């Protein structure tokens, strides 16, 4: 596995090669004995010590279980495809596998939004179990992605997103009014609006400077982004609650997957299970043993609203659930929610 950087000219060349490779692979299935490099892309840098090892685990298992027929070639930090380019790049054949956070693509594929809904469950264990490959939620996602030509192989459900602010703590919904909070996706944005704030969309690499310049007042984020981007040096308050969540998933094109030799498909499936099982376990351990102590040591005050305040938050965000249900369709939405709550 190699981690590479690539410039604009290199990107264009890679894009051309990717399209050519995609066209060629459509003509015939991959030969069982052929060792082929597969371009793997993510916008995440290695500084995400909670998530990045899961990506490495995926690549190692895919290579090993395929008997060397699959040779993942990893381009991280947006070197091949930036956050907004990952899905188009996958569909056009620039990359064979991408690792993407669901918040970037759930507006395109609303079924992914079930895992992002605020207060869908206040038991992280349910959220974690729901997305296990082979369970109802995972199968429902792939059923909905298949007509779009995309397949999810596995993913890591992040711990809950908190509300992080610089100048004032958030203890109740009215405290959000007027605040400019950075969000990474549509559902996060709708949540901020429902609470009376103004959502600001930007990449995580831009957040530190935006906070420093008072362009934004805070953000909706899981703790991994806070520590990986050193935001604990700026934010002063964190309001604990299930204000959102997302998954970091491995995707491939469904036609590319079907063209692979059965041994390669099994390797990809096992890599997806490893990402979910071992990658998630690593992430949770890092959050508990490393990131949370770092945030506290930096002097960030973690606020835990009482039950009456949490009830007010839950009531305020009901329109977010209703809008997502209407967008996806009632039947599929209800199935997705039920699969999480029963997990």
Residues 241, 246, 58, 153, CA torsion sign: positive
DSSP states of 58-88 as a string?
HHHHHHHHTTTSEEEEEE-TTSSS-TTTHHH
Tokens 């009830």 locate to 311
Residue 239: name the closest of 307, 302, 287 by CA.
302
pLDDT tier for residue 35 given thresholds of 50, 70 and 90: low
Is residue 265 domain-shared with residue 330, that is, in the same domain? no
Has residue 279 been placed in a domain? Answer: yes
By the 8 A CB rule, do 140 and 158 touch?
no
Residue 110 has pLDDT above 50, yes or no: yes
Cα–Cα–Cα angle for 283, 161, 115, nearest 5°? 80
Is residue 128 domain-shared with residue 268, that is, in the same domain? yes
Helix (H) or strand (E) holding 23: helix 8-25
Domain count, the chain: 2
By the 8 A CB rule, do 164 and 187 touch?
no
Q: In the chain, count of helices (H) and strands (E)? A: 15, 11
Any idea which of 1-5, 145-149, 288-292, 322-326 has the lowest mean pLDDT?
Answer: 1-5
Is residue 178 domain-shared with residue 275, that is, in the same domain? no
Helix (H, G, I), strand (E, B) or coil at 260: coil
Mean pLDDT of the chain: 91
Is residue 146 domain-shared with residue 194, that is, in the same domain? no
Is residue 274 domain-shared with residue 188, that is, in the same domain? no
Q: Which domain holds residue 336?
A: 162-244+300-341
Has residue 270 been placed in a domain? Answer: yes
> Residue 68 has what pLDDT?
87
In angstroms, how far is CA 42 from the centroid of its own chain? Answer: 11
By the 8 A CB rule, do 114 and 340 touch?
yes
Residues 130-170 pLDDT 10s? 999 999 999 999 999 999 999 999 999 999 999 999 999 99
Is residue 240 domain-shared with residue 251, that is, in the same domain? no
By the 8 A CB rule, do 133 and 157 touch?
no
pLDDT tier for residue 10 given thresholds of 50, 70 and 90: very low
Is residue 124 domain-shared with residue 51, that is, in the same domain? yes
Residues 237-268 pLDDT 10s? 999 999 999 999 999 999 999 999 999 999 99
Measured distance CA(281)–CA(151) in Å, rounded: 23
> Residue 156 has what pLDDT?
98
Strands 150-157 and 247-253: antiparallel
Q: Bigger pLDDT: 224 or 37? A: 224
Could you tell me the pTM of the whole model? 0.87
Tokens 């209407």 locate to 326
Residue 180 has pLDDT above 80, yes or no: yes
DSSP states of 261-309 as a string?
-HHHHHHHHHHHHHIIIIIHHHHHHHIIIIIHHHHHHTTPEEE---HHH
Q: Let me know if 39 is exposed, middle or buried by CB neighbors in 10 A (0-12, 13-18, 19+).
A: buried
Is residue 94 domain-shared with residue 21, that is, in the same domain? yes
């Amino acid at each position: 596995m190699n981690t590479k950087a690539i410039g604009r000219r290199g990107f264009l060349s890679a894009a051309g090669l990717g399209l050519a490779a995609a066209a060629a692979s459509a003509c015939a299935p991959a030969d069982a004995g052929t060792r082929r490099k597969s371009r793997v892309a993510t916008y995440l840098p290695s500084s995400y010590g909670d998530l990045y090892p899961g990506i490495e685990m995926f690549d190692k298992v895919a290579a090993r279980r395929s008997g060397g027929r699959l040779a993942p070639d990893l381009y991280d930090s947006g070197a091949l495809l930036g956050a907004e380019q990952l899905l188009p790049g996958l569909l056009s054949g620039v990359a064979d596998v991408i690792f993407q956070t669901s918040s970037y693509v759930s507006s395109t594929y609303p079924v992914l939004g079930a895992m992002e809904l605020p207060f869908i469950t206040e038991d992280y264990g349910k959220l974690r179990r729901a997305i296990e490959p082979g369970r109802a939620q995972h199968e429902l996602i792939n059923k909905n992605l298949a007509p779009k030509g995309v397949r999810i192989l596995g993913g890591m459900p992040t711990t809950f997103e908190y509300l992080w602010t610089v100048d004032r703590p958030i203890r109740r919904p009215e405290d959000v009014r007027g605040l400019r909070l950075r969000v990474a996706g549509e559902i996060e944005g709708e949540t901020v609006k429902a609470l009376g704030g103004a959502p600001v969309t930007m990449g995580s690499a831009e957040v530190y400077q935006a906070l420093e310049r008072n362009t934004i007042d805070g953000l909706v984020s899981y703790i991994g982004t806070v520590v990986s981007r050193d935001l604990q040096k700026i934010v002063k308050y964190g309001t604990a609650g299930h204000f959102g969540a997302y998954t970091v998933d491995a995707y491939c094109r469904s036609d590319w997957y079907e063209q692979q030799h059965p041994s390669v498909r099994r390797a990809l499936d096992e890599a997806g299970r490893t990402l979910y099982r071992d990658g998630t376990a690593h992430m949770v351990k890092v959050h508990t043993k490393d990131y949370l102590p770092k945030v506290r040591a930096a002097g960030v005050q973690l606020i835990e609203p009482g039950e009456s305040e949490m009830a007010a938050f839950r009531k305020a965000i009901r329109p977010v659930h209703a809008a997502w249900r209407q967008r996806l369709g009632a039947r599929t939405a209800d199935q997705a929610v039920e699969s999480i709550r029963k997990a």
